[in-house]
Structure 1
C-alpha cells in the first residue's frame, strides 16, 4: 500500500490507520513518509449494547437519549447514499457555527471545510462502500436536525462525519440519539469497536465523545510530500488566524 501511494503523482498523499495498529505500520512505513501523531477516542463494545449502555455511557448520555426519545424526532437510516444531499445541507449550515467557535473568518472556514469535504465526496464513498456506509438522519417536523455518517470494516465502526442544525438538534439532543442507535447497530452486527475519531483536548467535541465512555488510542497519519507545502500552508493559515485573534492560536 505504501508503494502504491508513493507511485501516485499527487504532491501530497497519506493514509490514516485505525487505532491500535500504529506499531505494525510504523515498522512498514518506508523512508520519505512522515508521521503525524493523533489520538482517537474509541468505545469498547465488548459485552453488547446493554453493557455499553449501563456501564460505559455516562449518565448525561443516557439522560440525553431519553430526552431525545421524547422530543418527537424521526430517525431515518440510509445505506444507499440517498440522504447525502440532506447531510450536505446540514454540513453547510454547520460551517458558520464552527467558524464562530474557532474565531475563524467565515470565508476561510468555508473554503477549508469544503476543500476537505467537497460536494459529492459522500456520494462517492456511499456508492463504493454500499451498506458499509450508513447515514443516520434525525428529522424534526420535516426538517433535518442532525446527521452522522458511520463507516464499517469488519468489526470496526468509524464515526466519520457529523453535522447539525443546532437550533433543532441541541434542545432535542438529536446527536445523542443518533450515536446511541449507531452504537446499538454496531453491537448487533458484532463489531468490537465504535471509533469516534479524533478531537482536540479541552474542546466541547472532545467532552461529548468522552461522555460515551471512550478510551484513547494512538492513531497516527502517515503522509508524503514531493514539495514541502504542508508547513507553509499551515503557517499562512495560523498567521491569518492570529491576525483575527483566533482562540487556539
Structure 2
C-alpha cells in the first residue's frame, strides 16, 4: 500500500489506533498516515470530523468517531472502551489534542493557565492512563505523545530584540504543559517497557497550521531549513515510532523542528 505522496506506507494492517485531536491539521495527517498503512482508527476529538472521515473512506479500514473532551476522564474512558468494543483492542495511541496560549508570562491569567494544562497535559495523562490496561496484554503496543520544541528551548520569541514577537507566539503556559508531556512520556516508558509497550513523543517546532497563522516571519527565518514544518512531516515521524520495527526505541523525545533546537 502506498501513500498519496508516493511514499511507502508503514504496515499497520490489523492494528487499531486511537488518535486524539483528530479534527486538527496534525491529527488528521496522523489519521491519514495510519489509515494508509491499514490501521483501524478511533478518531477522538471535539471538532468536526466529517471531512476527515470522508477522506478516510477511500481506505479499507474501520473508522470509529468518538466525540471526546480529553480533559474529561469519563469521556476518555468511553472512547477507549468504544475502540476496544469495535476493534477488539488498542495497539496505538497518538495524543495530538492541544490548544495554545499567546502573550507574555505576566499576561497569563490563572484561567488561561488552567485551560491549557487541562487539555495539553491532563488530557495526555488521562489518555495514556486509560489505555494501559487494554494495552498490557497485547505485546505490541505504541504510545506516541505530542510535545513541543517550546518545552526545551524557553520559547521561540526574542524579547531582547523585539518584545512584540511574544504576542504572536506560544507562551510559558503552553511550554510548561508540553514539558510535562515530555516528563510523563519518560516515566511511563520505564513503567511499561516490560509489557512490550513503547512510549515516545515527538516535539514539533513551528508547524504551518491555523494555530500559527500569525507566527512572525522573523522567527521563521531562525529556522535553519528556512521554512515552517508541515503536518505530514510530523505524521511521518509518528508513524515511524508507531511501527512494529521501532520496538527498541522507547523514552525518546524526537525533535521535528527544522533545526530550531538540536540536542
Write 1 or 2 for the structure with the bigger share of strand.
1
What TM-score, normalized to structure 1? 0.25
Greater Rg by CA: 1
Provide TM-score, normalisation by structure 2.
0.24
The one of the two structures with greater contact order (alpha-carbon pairs below 8 A, sep at least 6) is 1
